[in-house]
């Protein structure tokens, strides 16, 4: 017996204005329940996570009018949260603590007439304390911290900007096939190289989008899912990795991620190895995050993520179709729900023009902080062990 994802709900994503994060979250849960063919009253668990706006929390249950829940909490390990929510929901279903759990993420950082970058950028004339000093000196956005990580990998292993660009290009090739993606115009490596610097070595086309919206999934038992409206997406395994890189001598910051721990844990639970994975949905806040995650999962050796990306393996027609919906770079930026939602679509065979040729084993990653938190899910259209 395994748990399964029985419903997927996605609001409009992108420049979606006029709805609060709480309203968007409620809409996504309603859509997910309807997708599964469930009434809201059949939910007995709700796991809530939010983006930078800090809303919604567990009051979402009241917004939805949910009563007599057996499981209700807010979860946060930043970009790793979606995987963490599904694993908590799956464990709750398997233990009998709950039967039907909605997991939702919502955020609305974009405001009308404000650039996407400014939603995640700090600026001020006066700066306070140590945190302010770091920002004042110029480390004013997450971009700069990921740039430090990527540069360290480049200096250590010879990774190049063109190799990062290969990920931007292949991800856009997938996005061109996805009607839900925000950026569908094809790009070339030359476009990537010509795009403006955000924080060297990261070009604009190395960085994810910013989106408003919400996504929810419904987790239940495989048996129950089999009786519901849509093909079940079976959850074979899960894991987390939180390396706790200290900022001091000997730190592996920028060189390894929690995927080196969460991957083997999830794959062991699922009874698979990296060679069994047909499709990857990797958290891609930056092209670099994909590159280093591929290494840590064991799809290539440490330091060879650049060559692997450059080989074309990740693109349509490649050996390891990766971020088949366009990811967060070109699709939509819903933190860990971006890779998870595309995994559900691929496992159901609903990918249309972008459907991967094989979908028996799909690896989903989440990444939070500056490569501080990682989660992994292994999902499949088939029952575990079948």
* Site of interaction with another protein (CB under 8 A): 124-134, 136-139, 144, 147-149, 151-152, 155-156, 196-202, 246-249, 251, 253-254
Rg, the chain, Cα only: 20
**Smallest distance, another protein to C-beta of residue 157, A:** 11
Q: Looking at beta carbons only, is 152 or 230 nearer to another protein?
A: 152
b vs e for 208-245, b when ≥16 Cβ sit within 10 Å of the residue's Cβ?
A: bbbbbbbbbbbbbbbebbeebebbbbbbbbbbbbbbeb
Q: Looking at beta carbons only, is 236 or 253 nearer to another protein?
A: 253
Query: Which among 146, 283, 297, 332 is annotated as catalytic?
Result: 283
How far, in Å, CA of 322 to CA of 214, rounded?
22
β-bridge pairing 233-241 and 373-380:
antiparallel
Taking CA atoms, 251 is separated from 82, 149, 255, 298, in Å, by 27, 12, 9, 21
Active site residue 333: yes
Active site residue 283: yes
Name the residue among 102, 105, 13 with its Cα closest to residue 53: 105
How far, in Å, CA of 66 to CA of 200, rounded?
48
For residue 121, list its beta bridge partners. Answer: 141
How far, in Å, CA of 24 to CA of 108, rounded?
9
**Smallest distance, another protein to C-beta of residue 132, A:** 7
Q: Looking at beta carbons only, is 157 or 238 nearer to another protein?
A: 157
Q: Looking at beta carbons only, is 55 or 251 nearer to another protein?
A: 251
Q: What's 196's DSSP letter?
A: P
> Which residues, including other chains, have CB under 8 Å from residue 362's CB and lie 6 or more apart?
277, 278, 279, 280, 281, 343, 346, 347, 378, 379, 380
Taking CA atoms, 195 is separated from 33, 103, 165, 175, 198, in Å, by 41, 36, 10, 18, 9
For residue 281, list its beta bridge partners. Answer: 364
Name the residue among 370, 303, 362 with its Cα closest to residue 163: 303
Q: Looking at beta carbons only, is 19 or 245 nearer to another protein?
A: 245
Which residue, chain included where needed, has tokens 């929390």? 57
Q: Looking at beta carbons only, is 154 or 267 nearer to another protein?
A: 154
CA 20 to chain centre: 22
Helices within 37-76 (DSSP H only): 60-64
Q: Looking at beta carbons only, is 23 or 145 nearer to another protein?
A: 145
User: Annotated active-site positions, please?
Assistant: 283, 333
């Amino acid at each position: 017996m395994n748990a399964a994802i029985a419903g997927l709900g996605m609001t409009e994503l992108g420049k979606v204005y006029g709805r609060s994060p709480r309203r968007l979250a409620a809409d996504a849960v309603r859509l997910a329940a309807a997708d599964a063919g469930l009434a809201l009253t059949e939910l007995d668990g709700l796991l809530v996570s939010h983006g930078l706006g800090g809303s919604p929390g567990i009051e979402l249950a009241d917004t939805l009018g949910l009563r007599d829940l057996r499981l209700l909490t807010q979860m946060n390990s930043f970009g790793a949260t979606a995987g963490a929510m599904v694993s908590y929901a799956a464990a709750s279903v398997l233990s009998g603590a709950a039967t039907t759990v909605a997991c939702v993420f919502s955020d609305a950082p974009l405001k009308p007439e404000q650039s996407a970058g400014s939603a995640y950028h700090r600026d001020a004339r006066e700066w306070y304390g140590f945190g302010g000093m770091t920002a004042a000196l110029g480390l004013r956005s997450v971009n700069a911290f990921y740039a430090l990580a990527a540069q360290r990998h480049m200096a250590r292993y010879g990774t190049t900007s063109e190799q990062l660009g290969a990920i931007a290009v292949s991800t856009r090739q997938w996005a061109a096939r996805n009607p839900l993606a925000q950026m569908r115009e094809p790009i070339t490596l030359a476009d990537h190289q010509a795009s403006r610097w955000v924080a060297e070595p990261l070009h604009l086309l190395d960085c994810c989008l910013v989106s408003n919206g919400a996504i929810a999934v419904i987790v239940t038992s495989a048996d129950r899912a089999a009786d519901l409206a849509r093909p079940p997406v079976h959850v074979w395994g899960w894991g987390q990795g939180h390396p706790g890189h200290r900022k001091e001598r000997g730190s592996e910051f920028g060189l390894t991620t929690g995927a080196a721990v969460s991957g083997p844990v999830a794959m062991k639970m699922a009874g698979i190895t990296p060679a069994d994975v047909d499709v990857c949905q990797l958290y891609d806040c930056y092209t670099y995050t994909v590159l280093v995650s591929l290494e840590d999962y064991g799809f290539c050796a440490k330091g060879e993520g650049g060559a692997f990306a450059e080989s074309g393996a990740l693109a349509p027609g490649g050996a390891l179709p990766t971020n088949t919906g366009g990811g967060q770079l070109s699709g939509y930026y819903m933190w860990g729900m971006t890779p998870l939602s595309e995994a559900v679509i691929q496992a159901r065979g609903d990918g249309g023009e972008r459907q991967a040729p094989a979908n028996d084993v799909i690896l989903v990653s989440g990444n939070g902080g500056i490569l501080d938190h990682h989660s992994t899910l292994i999902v499949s259209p088939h029952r575990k062990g079948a």
